[in-house]
């Protein structure tokens, strides 16, 4: 028996992600998605990145976690605007979660936006990257 796929279950997320990309493009924001497993050092990497770039770029953080605010609290101690997303058990941040967090930031003035869960969204505005 052949099973018909009527609709891509991720289609709604794809549309929202496209809207997010359009918003980032409009504000000349560059986004990098860095993924790793729990305990791999994502929050430490975000902290070190903030320390290295905060004198040159305006930085904001979207922190994703299953249920607590431990990592967001660590970031807040660096005097960086931070938004916490609790995913309620999900191990990812989807386009809608990012969209819901964005109004907190003035993307026209935010130069660097980091978001982290099993992924870090690293957003740089007006940064030129070497082509590889």
Render pLDDT for 104-128 as a digit per residue (tens, 0 to 9). Answer: 888 877 656 665 554 444 444 444 4
CATH value at residue 38: 3.40.50.300
- Domain for residue 36, yes or no? yes
Would 85 be classed as within a structural domain? Answer: yes
Provide the total of helices (H) and of strands (E) in the chain, helices listed first. 4, 5
Within a domain: 3: no
| Residue 132 forms part of a structural domain | no
CA distance 91 to 99: 17
Is 53 within the bounds of a domain?
yes
21 in any annotated domain:
no
Number of domains in the chain: 1
Q: What is the pLDDT of residues 72-86, one digit of tens each?
A: 899 999 998 888 888
Average model confidence (pLDDT) across the chain: 76
For residue 93, CA distances in Å to 1, 33, 86, 106 come to 35, 11, 9, 20
| C-alpha to C-alpha distance for 40 and 57, rounded to whole angstroms | 25
- Global pTM reads 0.74
- The verdict on residue 49 lying in a domain is yes
- Containing domain of residue 95, as a range? 32-125
* 47 belongs to a structural domain: yes
């Amino acid at each position: 028996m052949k099973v018909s796929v009527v609709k891509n279950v991720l289609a709604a997320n794809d549309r929202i992600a496209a809207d997010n990309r359009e918003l980032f493009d409009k504000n000349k924001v560059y986004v990098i998605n860095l993924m790793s497993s729990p305990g791999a050092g994502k929050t430490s990497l975000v902290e070190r990145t903030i320390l290295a770039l905060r004198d040159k770029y305006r930085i904001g953080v979207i922190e994703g976690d299953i249920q607590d605010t431990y990592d967001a609290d660590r970031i807040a101690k660096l005097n960086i605007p931070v938004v916490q997303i609790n995913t309620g058990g999900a191990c990812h941040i989807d386009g809608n979660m990012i969209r819901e967090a964005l109004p907190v930031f003035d993307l026209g003035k935010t130069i660097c936006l980091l978001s982290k869960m099993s992924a870090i969204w690293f957003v740089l505005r007006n940064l030129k990257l070497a082509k590889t």
